[in-house]
Amino acid sequence: MFTFKPPSDAVPSCELCQQVGGQPVWAQDAWRVIRVNDTDFPAFYRVIYHHHVAEFSALPELQRQRCMQLVGAVERVLVDRLQPTKINLAALGNMVPHLHWHVIARFDWDSHFPQPIWGMRQREVQPAPVSRLACSLGDLDTAMVAALNAA
Amino acid sequence: MFTFKPPSDAVPSCELCQQVGGQPVWAQDAWRVIRVNDTDFPAFYRVIYHHHVAEFSALPELQRQRCMQLVGAVERVLVDRLQPTKINLAALGNMVPHLHWHVIARFDWDSHFPQPIWGMRQREVQPAPVSRLACSLGDLDTAMVAALNAA
């Protein structure tokens, strides 16, 4: 948990400059990790750069490495705790061109599998996806913080 | 250009262990880059690991860094040569769980923008997308090889 404050160079019209973007999980230096509130995909985190940079390759080399260290740490917790069918990683930003990485645990039973979460829904899922996870979201967040602090 | 040969540890049922996966552009050590033949998204490359590893975080740390160096180099060529509206990066692998990164130049006029390429088509594009690019695919491939050799 952390309290979000827009950086001094925040772009007024950018929602990821102005808002935390989800459930705050962890922040350090120029990076934050939030959990996305998505009923279909409850184990869905985002690694977000504090500053308004659109493309991954526009980051300085050391920040690129740091970025993927954090993405890898989030991925590893999802794999270890939830044994998902697959992890999906993506940095798109067509709507919000402010660098953010989606890290999503996918399951063969989820609403869109094997399609990307942005593709066509394949099925309705009952009971709710969150109840099918191997641990609670609270425990997942706690494991995430520990892994990110060690990354 | 390179000639693809399945690695000695190739998985018989995996299409990215058995086939190059697109137009061969560049290969070195455990990595190859191919161009995807996609009419809607002609400036679409994949960075593929030669060996059958499903998740990014399963790579040794040095290979993770190498992977993102190559992804970043491909991205930078697309940005410099084509001035796209946005770059999209993704490692999904729900269908083929063999590590491959999609690096896609997106344009505000393309068939799906601002949706992900896996989302809903937004428009028909005429004349053909490839004819709208700032350079030919041959020139793009040549620039890609030079950048990857220097990466």
Peptide bond into A127 cis (omega under 30): yes
Question: If DSSP codes are grouped into helix, strand and coil, which group holds residue A48?
Answer: strand
pLDDT of residue A78: 98
The pLDDT of residue A1? 77
Taken in order B107, B147, B3, A88, the sign of the CA dihedral is: negative
Q: Please state whether beta strands A31-35 and B31-35 pair in parallel, antiparallel, or not at all (unpaired).
A: unpaired
B64, B86, B114 ranked by CB distance to A54: nearest = B86
User: Shortest Cα distance from A64 to chain B (angstroms)?
Assistant: 8
Q: Using the beta-carbon criterion (under 8 Å), do B116 and A92 form an inter-chain contact?
A: yes
Q: Which pLDDT does position B137 carry in this prediction?
A: 98
Pull the structure tokens for residue B116.
Answer: 């992900």
Radius of gyration of chain B (CA): 15
| pLDDT mean values, one per 10 residues, chain B (151 residues) | 92 97 97 98 98 97 97 98 98 97 98 98 97 98 98 96
Specify the 3-state DSSP secondary structure of B146. helix
| Least CB–CB distance from A55: residue in B79, B91, B93 | B79
CA-nearest of A100, A83, A131, A114 to A36 is A100
Task: Give the distance, in angstroms, between the CA of residue A36 and the centroid of all CA atoms in the same chain.
Answer: 7
Q: Quote the pLDDT of residue B1.
A: 78
Alpha-helix residue ranges (DSSP H) falling in A1-151: 15-18, 61-82, 137-150
Report chain A's C-alpha Rg in angstroms.
15
Which of chain B's residues have a Cβ under 8 Å away from the Cβ of A45?
A: none
Coil, strand or helix at B93: coil
Contacts of B64 in chain A (CB under 8 A): 68, 72
Amino acid at position A37, single letter:
N
pLDDT value for A83: 98
Contact residues for B117 (Cβ-Cβ < 8 A; gap 6+): B40, B41, B88, B104, B106
What is the C-alpha separation between A78 and A32, in angstroms, rounded?
17
Structure tokens given for A57: 């390759």
| pLDDT less than 50: residues of chain A | none
